[in-house]
Structure 1
């Protein structure tokens, strides 16, 4: 399981938006968001810039992928 920090999430709707955006990316599966930790967790491989762009496009701040 990989994680990426997501800044700017404040509520469940924010977490749902991030989950939906990442779930729609080819190559990512099992996407979940931990709102309290500000993290999105996922499996699979997609280019880092694509993942970050998807988060940025919906108004959140992507951080480091670990």
Structure 2
């Protein structure tokens, strides 16, 4: 799944986003593109679990195609 996180603006934000994702699924593969503010997640978990965790962490995502 691909997510766009508008307020992910620095390396600290990227680490926080990654940590929130890993809290949901420690085995998830996470690729962060800070320049485009996009995150790619490979996981068997449903997208809703990740979007809820990111909302709670202060990084509300929107799904990218």
TM-score where L is the length of structure 2: 0.82
Q: Which residue of 1 aligns with 2:51?
A: 52
Q: Report which of the two has the higher share of strand.
A: 1
Contact 2:17 2:54 in 1 (8 A): yes
Aligned to 1:8, the other structure's residue is in SS state coil
In the TM superposition, structure 1's runs of 4+ consecutive aligned residues that sit over 6 Å from their partners are none
Q: Which residue of 2 aligns with 1:24?
A: 23
Instruction: Give the root-mean-square deviation of aligned CA atoms.
Output: 1.8
TM-score where L is the length of structure 1: 0.81
Pick closer, same or farther for the CA change 1:41–1:27 going to 2, 3 Å. Answer: same
